[in-house]
Amino acid sequence: MKIAIITGASSGLGYEMIRQLDGRTDIQEFWLIARRKERLEAIAGLTHTKVRIFTWDLSERNSIDELEKILEAEKPLVKLLINAAGFGKIGNYSEISRQDCDRMIDLNCRAAVDITQIVIPYMKGGSHIMEVCSSSAYMPVPYLNVYAATKVFLLHYSRALRKELLPQGIFVTAVCPYWIKDTEFIAKAQKSQNSSYIRHFPMATWSRDVAAGAIRDTYYGRAVSTPGLFCTLQRIFSRFFATDALLEMWELIRRL
């Protein structure tokens, strides 16, 4: 059985990935992982590809233990892994709880690594891993500090893992989009005591465009995908501008 495993599958970018991958001949079954069963069931009813649903919270370690047991028992061929689960909080450090900080680190970093580690043994040459990072990985981001730091981790992990897996013909792509206007991320990120530090999201992109670019770059085997103009510019600027200069640019953008 050739499968694609997608985390964070119940909405946003994860769902858009499913919609655009549906019907690919190299994927016989989607394994969808998210917390909201009703959303996953609704998505399953809209897809032509066979779907298997796992209603897990990946911040709980026993969920990943369960996936490992299922993989060991069934030994599928994983053609594609998309780690799209993650969340962020906007606000001053003093307004974001320690519990939320821990959850961001746990879900955005630990869970992504754990899922990747247990899935790799079930991949062969021609398989792909997509780690959904963020353009915030290219610089420190005040008032989004923990989230941005988790994405730095995931970007560097992805780039290093790619080098290790290339001899096996397994490709890892770090996807680093800018703000996406039609997902739940912005609304959830703003649910802190005072999210006015980032008032607007200029040049935010659409999930369909981000997903299309990310899928294209992943199947081309590219190391990094910046699916959009602003995230591409951010990637370029990070090479040529000092961190302090980038922080000053961010101050201007967030006050727009």
Q: Give the 3-state secondary structure of 65-122.
A: HHHHHHHHHHCCEEEEEEECCCCCCCCCHHHCCHHHHHHHHHHHHHHHHHHHHHHHHH
Confidence of residue 255 (pLDDT cuts 50, 70, 90): low
Domains located in the chain, CATH noted? 2-254 (3.40.50.720)
Condensed to tens digits (0 to 9), the pLDDT of residues 220-251 reads 999 999 998 888 988 998 888 888 888 877 77
Please give the Cα distance from 124 to 196 (Å, whole number): 47
The SS3 assignment for 221 reads: coil
Q: What is the largest CA-CA distance in the chain?
A: 53
Condensed to tens digits (0 to 9), the pLDDT of residues 88-98 reads 988 889 989 99
Confidence of residue 209 (pLDDT cuts 50, 70, 90): very high
Instruction: Report pLDDT for 251.
Output: 74
Mean of the per-residue pLDDT values of the chain? 90
Instruction: Report pLDDT for 181.
Output: 78
% of the chain at pLDDT higher than 70: 91
Give the residue ranges of DSSP H helices in the chain: 12-21, 37-46, 61-74, 98-105, 112-119, 145-165, 185-189, 207-219, 229-240, 243-254
Instruction: Report pLDDT for 212.
Output: 96
Instruction: Report pLDDT for 204.
Output: 77
Instruction: Report pLDDT for 186.
Output: 59
Q: Which of 2-11, 176-185, 247-256 has the highest mean pLDDT?
A: 2-11
Higher pLDDT, 200 or 102: 102
Using CA atoms, how far residue 236 sits from 148, 214, 239, 240, in Å, is 17, 18, 6, 7
Q: Judge contact between 67 and 87, C-beta under 8 A.
A: no
Instruction: Report pLDDT for 249.
Output: 77
Instruction: Report pLDDT for 250.
Output: 75
Pairing label, strands 50-55, 128-132: unpaired
Using CA atoms, how far residue 50 sits from 127, 230, 253, in Å, is 19, 36, 43
Q: What is the mean pLDDT of residues 152-158?
A: 98
